[in-house]
A = this chain, B = another copy of it.
């Protein structure tokens, strides 16, 4: 996976988190609090400026009340649609 693909993947992840967050009506701050993450880190994730670690992925899934596998599946779909 070359870096262009990496950034496409981060874009897909960013779009998925933003879509799920706004669907719950949460602010970035509320999501960050629920996931025990820093608000600016959530903002960077939603701008595809940083990559989530495995535990960040699981924390965000829990905060968004979705199974980690389902979240990753949705990201995969967005990523394939972008390709």
Q: Is A58 an interface residue (CB 8 A)?
A: yes
Q: Is A31 an interface residue (CB 8 A)?
A: no
Chain B residues with Cβ under 8 A from A10's Cβ?
54-55
| Cβ contact within 8 Å between A51 and B51 | no
Chain B residues with Cβ under 8 A from A73's Cβ?
67-69
* Number of A interface residues in the complex (CB < 8 A): 25
Contacts known (A1-B62, A69-B72, A69-B73); A53 close to B55, Cβ less than 8 A: no
| Cβ contact within 8 Å between A1 and B69 | no
| Cβ contact within 8 Å between B13 and A59 | no
Which of A55, A67, A75 lies at the interface centre, i.e. has the most chain B CB atoms within 10 A of its CB?
Answer: A55
